Amino acid sequence: MTLPSLSLSLQFGALADAALHRAALPRHTVARCIRHALETDAEITVRIVDAEEGQALNRDYRGKDYATNVLTFDYATDPLVMADLVLCAPVVAREAAELKKPLAEHYAHLLVHGTLHAQGWDHETSEADAEAMEARETAILAGLGQPNPYAA
């Protein structure tokens, strides 16, 4: 299987525990997760941010005044996907701990999730769309050797 090409920029904001997040997100792993979720070639920037930056972006662009795990800013889908994925390190770390999952595993799920959003997938439009997106994420993650993120 030939995967789509990817031009990737991986950025880390000012994080108190940057080493932990850098270790969970080696560039080759980030690229692998995204490429497996792509349906076409892409130019994607992944930025790992602190809670303050994550909250400001969520508030300014979505009108929700809290830091969320992943934000997707999609700019184009044809002829190639162009997007920014912003992952909030403290939120991702907290969720991984609550779910009793390795940090790298949770990041893999959110990278796939955000990449699907960049291609027009949406889980907030209907229950059927949510189920379809979850099924697609689960299949992609299985192909990456990752467990089902929605399994109890």
In sequence order, which residues have a C-beta less than 8 Å from that of residue 61 and are 6 or more positions away? 71, 73
C-alpha 20/C-alpha 37 separation (Å) is 24
Q: Known binder of ligand: residue 21?
A: no
C-alpha 33/C-alpha 51 separation (Å) is 23
* E-strand stretches of the chain: 6-12, 42-49, 70-76, 81-88
Q: Known binder of ligand: residue 117?
A: yes
- DSSP symbol at 125: S
Q: Known binder of ligand: residue 123?
A: yes
C-alpha 70/C-alpha 98 separation (Å) is 17
CB burial string 9-35: b at 16+ within 10 A, e below: ebebbebeeeeebeebbeeeebbbbbb
Positions at the binding site: 113, 117, 123
Positions at the binding site for Zn(2+): 113, 117, 123
